[in-house]
Structure 1
Amino acid sequence: MNLLQSGGGLLSVSTLASDLGVSAETVRRELRLLEKEGAVTREHGGARLIAKAFEGPLMQRMEENAAAKQRIARAAAQFVHDGMILFIDAGTTSCFIAQQLVDYRSLTVITNSLQVATDLGGINDNRLFLAAGQMDYAYRAFSDHTAQQYISGFTPHLSILSVGAIEKTRGLMDFHPGEAAMSRIAYATSERVLLGADSTKFGRYGLIHTAPLSSVDILVTDAALDDDYAEAFQQAEITIA
C-alpha cells in the first residue's frame, strides 16, 4: 500500500514484486486479498489504489500520474515570482502547481478552484479573487457563466492552465465545457500562458477545442516531445521536468 501511494496510486505487478523482493504470484495473491477488502482495484498487469470516498473525484484524478504532475509542478513554479498576478485553473496539474507556490509572497491569485483558493488564500500577503456561481462538485470549482464573466475582467501576468488532450492538428482540447471556456478566457486575457501537461495528454482527442498549440507561451511536461510536437510548439519555451 505504501509503494502504491508513493508511486502515484498505480503500479505493475512486476514492479511491486521487484521492490518487495517476492514473486509475482505472491504479489497477485496479496492484491486479490486487498481487492476483496476494497483497498485496491486490480488492472491488467497491476493494481490501482481506490481513493477514499470522502476525497471525491478531484482527488481521484490527482492520484493519476501524480509523480509526473509533481515534477511538472516543481518546474512550473520557477516561472512564478513574488508579486505576480496569476490565474490558476481547476485542473489537477494546476492544483499541484499551486501547492508549490505556498512560500511565494504577495501573489494576486485569481482562480475558479476551491482547492487552489484553500492552498494560496490567506497566506504571505496574498490577495485572492475566487470566481463564484454554481459549484461543480466533481471539480470543486466554479465554471458556469457567472464565474466566466467574473474571470474575464482580470488581466493576469501569467495564467497557469491544465489541459484534457493535445493533438498536433486539432490543438488543445478539454472534456468539460465550463473549464474549456475558462481556458479560452485565460488565453485571451493573459500576458503569458503556462501549460502544464503530462505525457499522457499528447495524442489524445478531447471533446471541446480550447486553443491552438501556438497560443501556449510556456509548456512544462514530463517527457521529451517527438519531432512533430516539438515543431508544433516551436513558439513556446519548453521545459522537461
Structure 2
Amino acid sequence: MMKRQRRQQEIVALLGEGNFRGIGDLAQSLAVSEETIRRELRVLEASGAVVRAHGAVRLAKVETEGSFAARLQRHADAKQRIAAASVPFVADGQTLYLDASTTGHFVARALRDHKRLTVITNAVGVAAELGGRNENRVLLAGGELDYEYRACFDTTARDYLALFTPSLAILSVESVNLDHGFSDYHAGEAAVSRMMIARSRRTMIVADRSKFDRHGTVQIAPLNGVAMLVTDQPLTPAYAEGLAGVEVVIA
C-alpha cells in the first residue's frame, strides 16, 4: 500500500499543475508498465486529483480545494518540510489548536514524539495521529462531519472550540495574497480559523509556496495579523515587506 501511495505522489509531482502528459510518458518516467500507470490514475481520478482525456492526463484545476485525499498528496514534500520546521516551536506540555488542513495533518504526524500535549482540534485525522500517545490529551470538536475535510465546522463544533484559549494555533490557508492577506475557500473552515486566531495567544500559519498569489474566497486574517509564517521558499521582496513584523521561517 505504501508503495502505491508513493507512486501516486510521484505521478502528481510529474504532472505539475495544468499540463497534460501521456500515459506512456509517465510509465517511462517511473519505469513501470502503462497498465500500472492506468491503475494508479483510476485511483487519482476517483479522488478528484487528476483529469484524463484521450490517453493523456493532467492535474485537476485548483478552483476549489478538492477532496482531503487528493489535497494530502499535493506538494507533500513541501508540507512535510514545513511540518518539520514548525515542531521546534511546540514545547512538551503545551496547549495548542491544530486545524483540519492537510498541512496541519502533516504537523500532527511530526508532533508524534512530543509529550503531554493538550491538542484542541476539529479534525479527525489530527486526533488519530496524536491521541493515546505520550500522555497527550486530545479535545475533539464534534458536530456534523464534513467528509471531504474529515472535520467538523458547524455551530456545534464552533461552540465547543470557543471554550478554549490555546497558547498556540497552527493553521494553514488556501491563499496568501498581498491584497487580501490569508484566506480560504471553505466558509466553515475560515470561520473556525478566525475564531481560533482571536482566542489563541499566538498564531502560526503553515503554507507552501503554491498558496501564494492565489485568490481565496473568505478572508481569515491580514498578512500582519499573525505571529509566524512557516513556508518552503524565500519570500519575494513584496511579500517580505507585506509580512514585516511577522516571524518567517523557511523550511
TM-score range, shorter chain: 0.7 to 0.9
Q: Tell me what 1:128 maps to.
A: 138
TM-score by length of 1: 0.84
Q: Percent identity?
A: 42
Q: Which residue of 2 aligns with 1:103?
A: 113
**Residues 1:9 and 2:12 aligned together:** yes
Q: 1:47 to 1:85 in 2, by over 3 A?
A: same
1:162 matched to which residue of 2? 172
Aligned partners of 1:224, 1:201: CA distance in 2, in Å?
13
Q: Does 1:211 align with 2:221?
A: yes
2:201 to 188, 191, 198: 191
Q: Which residue of 1 aligns with 2:47?
A: none
Provide the alpha-carbon RMSD of the alignment: 2.8
| SS of aligned partner of 2:67 | helix
Gaps of 5+ in 1: 21-26, 50-55
Q: Is the 8 A contact 2:92 2:115 kept in 1?
A: yes
The residue that corresponds to 2:42 in the other structure is 38
Contact preservation (8 Å) 1:8, 1:67: no
CA distance in 2 between partners of 1:16 and 1:128 (Å): 43
Could you tell me how far 1:30 is from its partner in structure 2?
Answer: 3.0
State the partner residue of 2:127.
Answer: 117
Cα deviation 1:184-210 (Å, max 9, x = unaligned)? 011101111111001010000111111
For the structure 1 residues 33 and 220, does the alpha-carbon distance in structure 2 shift closer, same or farther, using more than 3 Å as the test?
closer
- Equivalent residue number for residue 230 of structure 2: 220
Query: Matches of 2:78 and 2:41 in 1, distance apart?
Result: 28
Q: Distance in 2 between matches of 1:118 and 1:131?
A: 13
Secondary structure of 2:165's aligned partner: coil
Aligned length: 228
When structure 1 is superposed on structure 2, of 32-41 and 85-94 the one drifting more is 32-41
Residue 181 (structure 2) aligned to one of 171, 181, 192: 171
Query: Aligned equivalents of 1:179 and 1:185: distance in 2?
Result: 10
Q: Give TM-score, length-normalised by structure 2.
A: 0.81
Q: CA deviation at 1:146?
A: 1.3
